[in-house]
Amino acid sequence: MTNSCFRTEVEKIKGYLVQLRREFHRCPELSMQEFETCKRIKTALLECGIEPERDFSEPAVVAVLRGTAGSGPTIALRADMDALPIVEKSKASYTSQNPGIMHACGHDAHMAMVIGAGIMLNEHLYQMCGNVKLIFQPSEEVYPGGAYSLIEQGVLENPHVDAILAHHVQSHIEVGRIGIKTGNFMAATKEFTLSVKGKSGHAAHPQRGIDSIVVAAQIILALQTIVSRLTTPTTPIVLSVCTISGGTKSNVLAGEVTMCGTVRTLDDSLGEQVRAQMEQIVRGITQSCGASYSLKFDGGYPAVRNDSSLAMLVKQSAAKILGQKTVFEIQEPSMGGEDFAWYQHHRPGVITNLGCGNTVKGIVAPIHNEHFDIDEDCIAYGAAVMAQVAWDYIDP
């Protein structure tokens, strides 16, 4: 294979990719409802001569770029497609046209980047000794995640995927910069629902009832000792109770309180330990108060661990596009979760943090915020980096 300069090539399609991203942004769709998004992606791929595969049920789109210069490895480029149930507060011309739904996590940009990488690589099939698989995945935001379903459908086979890459835009990183964390990058996640059942009664006679709010308050405080007292202080753990509801009237003791929250750890096995400790604490407090409980966990996502060899290649390839000084190693892992981890359970993978912020332009709102937006220069940068990584992986 001869060398290709994707940094230059991406300039030819930069405007088109920005247009695509704005189309996606105007028409966001929630998890597992991304059917119109799929149609637009398929149209975009077909317009540039890329035929989507027919083996995967919507909402998902998969396409394979098959090199004709010889056999070789296959690398996958993944983009998530779903939006969030957030009311957008923006005066941009491309603001969401679907009330109460917003691309507040940058998935619109991710899709445009993978399409852009596909367009560029498709022009070099005659030079490629290997394949590139484009994966447009639904439902990253909702457990168990679209990645899990696609893997079960065989997305990592035919051809066999040897490695996988994804970007995630971040507005706290300036546009033109990219961060890669080698090893442990994002947390394993478990969501829980805890119901405390007491005995309702008149608030004037608390001795005749079992106040589930008082029981719940004790539990919330006691659960924090798992982080502060029952685990090693140097071990990152997040245990947060994020919603609480109970009671019907100001003079009636609450008969039941329901709480929801999340547990985040960088070690999958530690999550099981925390779960057992939660069960022990909740059981002890409810029994001592004469109450009962129900504690349920969903399966959660495993931890994201970036493959060290692939991470090194991504850094080298990104430097060819962005410059050596703009590529940096992320020092601290994130306690956020990502269903990209499912792919990494099967294949070496790397997910980056790609800068999309611009303090001069006031583009600083974080992801999952109603004011979130991106500096659209990041789309061309992300597409070019993906194309370069794929190129370098196929021809090391």
Active-site annotation, residues: 301, 376
CA distance 80 to 136: 6
CA distance 109 to 14: 12
For residue 159, whether the previous peptide bond is cis, meaning omega lies within 30 degrees of 0, is yes
DSSP string over 312-327: HHHHHHHHHHH-GGGE
Q: Is 88 left (phi over 0), alpha (psi -120 to 50) or beta?
A: beta
CA distance 250 to 202: 10
- Identify the three-state secondary structure at position 82: coil
- What the block records as the tokens of 217 is 């308050």
In degrees, rounded to 5, the angle at the alpha carbon of residue 72 between the alpha carbons of residues 66 and 77 is 55
Stated as kind and residue range, the H or E segment containing 331 is none
| Side-chain half-sphere CA neighbours of 130 within 13 A | 21
Residue pair 181/310 in contact (Cβ under 8 Å)? The answer is no
Where would I find the beta strands (DSSP E) of the chain?
Answer: 61-66, 74-80, 131-137, 163-174, 178-180, 183-186, 188-197, 237-246, 256-265, 292-297, 304-306, 327-329, 349-357
Residue 45 DSSP label: H
In degrees, rounded to 5, the angle at the alpha carbon of residue 136 between the alpha carbons of residues 130 and 142 is 135
CA distance 26 to 18: 12
CA distance 349 to 392: 15
Q: Which residues pair with 263 in a beta bridge?
A: 190, 239
- Identify the three-state secondary structure at position 92: coil
